[in-house]
Amino acid sequence: MRTVELAGKSVPVIGQGTWRMGENPEARRDEVAALRLGIAQGLTLIDTAEMYGEGGAESVVGEAIRGHHDEVFIVSKVYPHNASRQGTVAACERSLKRLGVGCIDLYLLHWRGQYPLSETLEAFERLREAGKIGRWGVSNFDVADLQALANPDCATNQVLYNPQARGIEFDLLPWSREQRLPTMAYCPIAQGGQLLSSPVFQQIAERHQVTPAQVCLAWVLRQEGVIAIPKAVSPQHVRLNAAAANLRLSAQDLAAIDQACPPPLRKQPLSMV
């Protein structure tokens, strides 16, 4: 599996998302099995958040990584409404308990909220000194937010990125690359939606004998410093996602995607889901 440096560690360029996991007890067994299968396939970076299933996803992750703590890199996130000086620490401690780990490798502010960034950062620093988090970062920050943050310790920015949502290519992505700030791309396969049945993705997939979702992942990963975190519960999807790390798109493929999903020509508001 191709790797990239994130928060001082070497992680796979493809990880596993967990949004929508931990919401339905009947799905839990399959979710745990999917994450374990992903770990076995090399998808050892797992992205979660206290928001997902209101703690349910973290608890699914906790079960899936039992016995595998040394192999995985866990990313979790604090709700903005919890991101005060005290609230961040308390939220992190609840997440640690649900995950069953002593340390979250990378802890993110989920999006910018009502608390001053300085308060959240103070809490992140306290958590880091106490060994409860490895590093910290942010999510859904645009260039202006990162400039307001102005902190070289920030380890990543996690944002929406796929061929249908290319706005960050205009400014955020080049800016982040210049700052050597890794980008984590969420919804990298556009939530498994219509994009996957579009003719251009189907034709490219046929050419490479892969699937349109794998084309999407290879497209997201064509750039340095980008990590993709697709979410999959279906075992077949997990296997395909892991295999997508080996797919390289040609100039012809990229030109066809540019025609179907044009790159931004001007600044666009940051897309979020």
Residues that bind ligand NDP (CB under 6 A): 17-19, 47, 110, 139-140, 158, 186-192, 211, 213, 229-234, 237, 240-241, 273
Phi–psi pair at 155, nearest 5 degrees = -95, -20
Q: Which is nearer to ligand NDP, 233 or 260 (CB)?
A: 233
Cα(222)–Cα(169) distance, integer angstroms: 12
Cα(14)–Cα(32) distance, integer angstroms: 18
Cα(159)–Cα(57) distance, integer angstroms: 19
161 catalytically annotated: no
Q: Tokens standing for 104?
A: 């979250």
Smallest distance from the beta carbon of 55 to ligand NDP, in angstroms?
A: 14
Cα(217)–Cα(220) distance, integer angstroms: 5
Smallest distance from the beta carbon of 118 to ligand NDP, in angstroms?
A: 22
Q: Which is nearer to ligand NDP, 39 or 255 (CB)?
A: 39
Smallest distance from the beta carbon of 176 to ligand NDP, in angstroms?
A: 15
Cα(57)–Cα(47) distance, integer angstroms: 10
Q: Which is nearer to ligand NDP, 55 or 188 (CB)?
A: 188
Residue nearest to ligand NDP (CB): 17
The catalytically annotated residue of 52, 107, 161, 186 is: 52
Q: Tokens standing for 88?
A: 């961040």
- Cβ–Cβ < 8 Å for 34, 232: yes
Q: Which is nearer to ligand NDP, 265 or 273 (CB)?
A: 273
Phi–psi pair at 138, nearest 5 degrees = -135, 170
For the four alpha carbons of 118, 17, 222 and 219, in that order, the dihedral sign comes to negative
Smallest distance from the beta carbon of 129 to ligand NDP, in angstroms?
A: 25
Active-site positions? 52
